[in-house]
Structure 1
């Protein structure tokens, strides 16, 4: 905030175009998934630049990263930013969850006294909010009509300059490589506990069989357990980074299927390099593919390419296969240690 602006409806907080150091640090943290659930701003009306009664009203969510990107992209333009309560969820996801809704937009218009601040009766809504907002109903609820702006906030200046008209390219939702990998970074933080438990499970399973071959030792336990964990970690990388990076190149529609292929591609050279037998190699390849498929399936909620029904269908179809591959990997690994093979660390 950079002060207050007096309006007929009272004082409105004024915000700057540029980012402070705290905004940059906060953006970096949430890109890594740190503090994501609490990174939000208070709903209400904000003044950007020197808006007046004729300035446009841009509606957005209260996820702070979205708000910060919006005000940065509107540098040099004076407008009103109407922030609605989406509980810290971005526009697209909030629209799908119905928190970015017709009723919430109308309620926020009334609560801020917007009709006393601007003379026009038009709201600019983000295009990705369309699933949750019925623009035709807004006027009856709050007296304001609505027009959907472009997909990306960086196109808003051109949209406003063209008299609220969007070029066809502004309506197209794209998901380039850089954005796919940026979203993937969030999984690193989200998966930290899961991977910690996986490491513990690898050590326990190693202690049940492989580490006892030729006599138990701590170093043998660590070597076998960490070797197994390396394969699960390779599966994590395959599903979280390789699958998004090669999203358009991997065949098939299901993200889980793409993850299986990516996991196999990542796991095969590692299995050949690290495995001491065919069963152990198959176990390594199976667990890598299973983990890669599992984490690739998580990515369905991070893209504009999926639907709720499609995700539900994909989970029902592929989760049993992922579980079967993981079970097969454990049985091959333990079976090889129980019924044959050299000692841990042996030749």
Structure 2
């Protein structure tokens, strides 16, 4: 998204100017103005953009749906066009994307889990691989649900600002519920390992949302990723 791309420097004056010059936009339109997304302001220097390609950058409304109204209003954005929201519905839009990205990692992790779970005194046991692998795969699936689904849905109610912390809390709750349901391994070393695995994976996946929210900052994200 624009917010994330601008923060990382991939949506900037140089990149925009490159596309304008490559497509010869000056030969397509008579005006020399570009409407830029508001959330890209952190990465685009409007003065530099004009120097590089001859087009002046005008920061438009927050949402593309308001562009027509923005143009009709003499290219001026009212308060509603500048207001940033992050409602439940807007957070839900992000979930399918994160699930699709996590699914590939889940498939690879499942394969490795079953292979490692079968290792034992007899070198490799299919029975152990199935039993322990299935249990660990269940923990991995719950970790994905905790980090990629529960964290954005419960975002306003999970304590703290940093996403790794929010994901850790969601993963901790999901992990605890899971190991308690196993009963025989609930209060054992394998149970503790499953819980820690769930917490770690959920915390990692939750950090993917740092570039999709309207309240994170570049410096804060860099600090969190360390």
TM class by shorter chain equals 0.7 to 0.9
Structure 2 residue aligned with 1:196: 107
How many matched pairs? Answer: 222
Q: Among residues 159, 163, 171, which one is paired with 2:82 in the alignment?
A: 171
Tell me the equivalent position of 2:41. Answer: 130
Given that residues 46 and 57 in structure 2 are in contact (C-alpha distance below 8 angstroms), is that contact kept between their aligned partners in structure 1? yes
The 8 Å contact of residues 240 and 292 in structure 1, kept in 2 or not, is answered as: yes
Contact 1:91–1:100 (8 Å) recurs in 2: yes
CA deviations 1:127-170 (Å, max 9, x no partner) are 12212322234444444433211010111122111111111121
- Please identify the structure whose Cα radius of gyration is greater: 1
**TM superposition shift of 1:310:** 2.1
Paired residues of 1:115 and 1:121 also in contact (CA < 8 A): no
For the pair 1:284 / 2:194, whether they are aligned, the reply is yes
TM-score (norm 2): 0.82
What per-residue deviation string (whole Å, max 9, x for no partner) do you get for residues 225-264 of structure 1?
A: 1012101211111011101111111001111111111011
1:75-90 pair list within 5 angstroms: 90=1
Aligned to 2:141: 233
Given the alignment, which residue of 207, 222, 225 partners 1:312?
Answer: 222
For structure 1, which runs of at least 5 residues remain unmatched after alignment? 1-89, 317-347
TM (normalized to structure 1)?
0.56
Report which structure shows greater RCO (CA 8 Å, sep ≥6): 2
Indicate the structure with greater helix content. 2
Distance 2:126 2:55 in 1: 70
State the match for 2:58 in structure 1.
147
Q: Which runs of structure 2 are paired with 1:189-268 in the superposition (5 Å)?
A: 189-209=100-120, 218-268=126-176
Alignment partner of 1:117: what SS? Answer: coil
Q: Matches of 1:139 and 1:103 in 2, distance apart?
A: 10
State the Cα RMSD in Å: 2.8
Q: State how far apart, in whole Å, the 2-side matches of 1:250 and 1:225 are.
A: 31
Secondary structure of the structure 2 residue equivalent to 1:123: strand
Larger mean Cα displacement after TM superposition, 285-294 or 198-207: 198-207
Q: Aligned partners of 1:269 and 1:92: how far apart in 2? A: 35
